[in-house]
């Protein structure tokens, strides 16, 4: 007879609280690509999403995924600590760290001065731009990049729609071939 290596009572909802106290739980924010906004704007767009990381002490196993309302209710102390720690605003736009025309150190320097997206860089006032060497060139590149992306947006959206349409056509063609083969098999008389 086999025995389980775990206690089945650990999975009862009433015992969950005791097990949760042993877990390492961390909430964090991760920038995720926003496909809809990317197609609309014609440039990579991201949005901040709250994630949860749950680990078992002494094990490499764990889970990292977008945080649900159930997670926030299940670990309220961890979530409250996270919210107090991250009093930052949620950013929409293209993070400077993801912009290929900027080095990582430049992005971090600008982030120190609360400029975190390409859109914020393009809109920076000349008075604030005086804090950085060569910022006018970067600011001009940001403005030009945003303008170019806005011009390219309709073409990128159309390309995505065509790609989706082509995938559907390919799927339908495969289905038609399968159905034709089945129909041919049914129509062909079997020899005895």
DSSP 95: B
* pLDDT tens digits along 33-60: 888 888 887 777 888 889 999 887 666 7
pTM greater than 0.95:
no
Q: Could you state, in order of their start, the residue ranges of all structural domains in the chain?
A: 16-93, 94-187
**Which residue blocks in the chain are alpha helix, DSSP H?**
16-20, 35-41, 69-74, 76-85, 104-112, 118-122, 126-129, 135-187
CB 66 within 8 A of CB 50: yes
Residue 109's pLDDT band, with cuts at 50, 70 and 90, is: confident
pLDDT over threshold 60, residue 88: no
pLDDT value, residue 118: 86
Cβ-based neighbour number of residue 177 at 10 Å: 10
pLDDT value, residue 176: 95
CB 78 within 8 A of CB 27: yes
pLDDT value, residue 177: 94
CB 51 within 8 A of CB 66: yes
pLDDT value, residue 23: 78
pLDDT value, residue 58: 64
Going by their DSSP bridges, the two strands 24-33 and 46-55 should be labelled as antiparallel
pLDDT over threshold 60, residue 72: yes
pLDDT over threshold 80, residue 95: yes
């Amino acid at each position: 007879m086999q025995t389980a290596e775990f206690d089945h009572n650990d999975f009862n909802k009433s015992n969950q609280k005791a097990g949760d106290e042993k877990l390492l739980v961390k909430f964090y924010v991760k920038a995720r690509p926003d496909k809809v906004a990317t197609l609309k704007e014609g440039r990579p767009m991201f949005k901040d999403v709250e994630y949860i990381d749950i680990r078992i002490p002494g094990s490499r196993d764990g889970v990292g995924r977008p945080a649900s309302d159930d997670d926030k209710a299940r670990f309220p102390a961890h979530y409250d600590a996270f919210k107090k720690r991250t009093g930052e605003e949620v950013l929409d736009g293209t993070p400077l760290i993801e912009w290929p025309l900027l080095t990582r150190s430049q992005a971090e320097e600008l982030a120190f001065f609360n400029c975190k997206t390409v859109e914020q860089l393009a809109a920076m006032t000349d008075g604030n731009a005086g804090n950085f060497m060569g910022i006018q060139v970067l600011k001009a590149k940001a403005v030009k990049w945003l303008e170019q992306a806005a011009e390219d947006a309709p073409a990128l959206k159309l390309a995505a729609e065509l790609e989706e349409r082509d995938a559907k056509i390919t799927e339908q063609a495969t289905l038609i071939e399968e159905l034709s083969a089945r129909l041919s098999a049914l129509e062909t008389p079997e020899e005895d």
